Amino acid sequence: MRTYFVRTFGCQMNKHDSERIAGMLETQLGLTQAPSPETADVVVFNTCAVREGAEERLRGQVSSLKAAKTGPNPDVIIAVGGCIAQRDGEMLLSYLPHVDIVFGTHNVGALPSLITSASETRAATVQVLAEGTEFASDLPSIREHTWHAWVPITVGCNNFCTYCIVPYVRGKERSRSFDDIVAEAERLVADGVVEITLLGQNVNSYGRDLYGESRFPDVLRRVAQTGVRRLRFVTSHPKDLSDETIAVMASTPQVCHSLHLPVQSGSNRILSAMHRRYTSEAYLALVERLYTAIPDLALSTDVIVGFPGETDADFEETLDLVRHARFDQAFTFLYSPREGTPAAQLKNTVSRNVMQKRFDRLVAIVQSLAYAKNQRYLGTVQEILIEGVSRRDPGVITGRTDSNKVVHAPIPAGESAEALAGTFARVAIDEAQTWFLWGHFEG
């Protein structure tokens, strides 16, 4: 074994886990990263079970490697981890029989030994623990970017929304100790990290299992004091976002003025069926408190279209909420049942045709709102953190503002995107489109 390739599906927590997987494969097994799965000796798929599309892509991509085992690379080791592996366990081998290793969300750290065993025995191995005791952050890491780091503060979830598989595959909510979080943040800043993103299925409830109450505002304050330039966090549950957290966001310069606040529906009847535990009125009141405290806040959300039992009237209420909330971005999804969740047993389903028509209407409104909100940036100068070269134009850099707006600008003469990545620059905004801003380096 000489090389590896990790393919990641799903959320930021999976991205964090994949960085730890890469760290273990390099430091413990001495592997180097391959440019593609077809050229690697070890291929790891870190999976997501939240959306149906991610499962379909997994099956297609794992199946595409079947030919390699009977052709140019018969000794390739294929490992599947993450949420699908945690959910399906040994059953996964029944529909993907050429997989060598199945490992769950609670035993990421066992992967190197599982790979060593598989290379020696050539026998399929399944190891899926029911619950974990350690955080993946305790493992070595190869970060995607040297200047950015994911820092989990909780894992698991206690909310049990009826459509969501996360509590079943990530387990009950567990918080890291306050001191461990701060210590990791301090190490990262000393290592040159300028942006940290705190992670949790519900960051707002951080600490309840350890301290009897949420200490999330304390985490924000203390991590901001480490010297990090930018501090972000995902994801927030509306029922737990406190006024104290809003106050910290408003008063702490390091905390970015962008917030992801999933609403899922604007219908109280559907919200109740989803077990979201807030009303549309409470959500909108929270949004108004946020805008009052942080006028330049960029707000994003998730919306599910076609939850079982959703009527035309329910959907119109969702559209009304979206208009009133004035989102900068909304991640919109057609409902797909997740096996093992309560909602998967509901019979009053919405037809695909109706879902698609509703979805198209929602997307049009979201795009219109996003375009309108981006116009406020025209003629302003924004500080961006440069991420690298644009995917579409090698002469253009891409970066993000404090409010998480994507900004493109021509690379200044004599500079390179590689050298600029991870640095801050001031960009004058000349054009505002729906999903990005365009400008030029000031001065």
Residue 7 makes CB contacts below 8 A (sequence gap 6+) with 37, 43, 44, 45, 46, 61
Instruction: Give the span between the Cα atoms of 230 and 302, in whole angstroms.
Output: 24
The DSSP-derived string for 217-237 is: HHHHHHHHTTT-SEEEEE---
Instruction: Say if CB 242 and CB 282 are below 8 A apart.
Output: no
Instruction: Give the span between the Cα atoms of 405 and 401, in whole angstroms.
Output: 5
What is the fold, at CATH topology level, of the domain defined by 287-375? Transcription Regulator spoIIAA (3.30.750)
Model pLDDT, residue 65: 81
The H-or-E segment that residue 216 falls in is helix 216-224
Domain ranges in the chain are 3-127, 145-256, 287-375, 378-441
Model pLDDT, residue 324: 98
Structure tokens at 23: 């760290």
Instruction: Give the span between the Cα atoms of 300 and 296, in whole angstroms.
Output: 13
Instruction: Give the span between the Cα atoms of 354 and 398, in whole angstroms.
Output: 38
Burial class (CB in 10 A: 0-12, 13-18, 19+), 179: exposed
Instruction: Quote the pTM value.
Output: 0.92
Instruction: Give the span between the Cα atoms of 206 and 258, in whole angstroms.
Output: 19
Same fold, 145-256 and 287-375: yes
Sheet holding 32-33, edge to edge: 32-33, 3-8, 42-47, 77-81, 101-103, 125-127
- Which of 263, 360, 346 is CA-nearest to residue 310? 346
Residue 406's alpha-carbon distances to 124, 155, 329, 439, in angstroms, are 44, 28, 12, 11
Q: Report the SS3 class of residue 23.
A: helix
Residue 326's alpha-carbon distances to 163, 207, 329, 427, in angstroms, are 25, 31, 9, 25
Model pLDDT, residue 283: 98
Superfamily designation of domain 3-127 = Methylthiotransferase, N-terminal domain (3.40.50.12160)
Model pLDDT, residue 136: 65
Residue 426 makes CB contacts below 8 A (sequence gap 6+) with 381, 382, 383, 384, 441, 442, 443
Instruction: Say if CB 150 and CB 19 are below 8 A apart.
Output: yes
Amino acid identity of 174? R
Task: Find the distance separating the first CA and the last CA of the chain, reported in whole Å.
Answer: 51
Model pLDDT, residue 139: 82
- Which of 422, 33, 442 is CA-nearest to residue 229? 422
Does CATH number 3.90.228.20 belong to domain 378-441?
A: no
Q: pLDDT tens track of the chain, all 443 residues?
A: 799 999 999 889 999 999 999 999 999 999 999 999 888 999 999 999 887 777 888 888 888 787 777 666 788 999 999 999 999 999 999 888 889 999 999 999 999 999 999 999 888 999 998 877 667 677 888 998 999 999 999 999 999 999 999 999 999 999 999 999 999 999 999 999 999 999 999 999 999 999 999 999 999 999 999 999 999 999 999 999 999 999 999 999 999 999 999 999 999 999 999 999 999 999 999 999 999 999 999 999 999 999 999 999 999 999 999 999 999 999 999 999 998 899 999 999 999 999 999 999 999 999 999 999 999 999 999 999 999 999 889 999 999 999 999 999 999 998 999 999 999 999 999 999 999 999 999 96
Pick the CATH number of 145-256 from 3.30.750.210, 3.40.50.300, 3.30.465.10, 4.10.520.10: 3.30.750.210
Model pLDDT, residue 343: 96
Using alpha carbons only, give the angle 96, 97, 98 rounded to the nearest 5 degrees.
Answer: 95
Residue 318's alpha-carbon distances to 14, 159, 313, 314, 374, in angstroms, are 29, 22, 9, 7, 22
- Adjacent-strand bridge partners of 333: 304
Model pLDDT, residue 443: 66
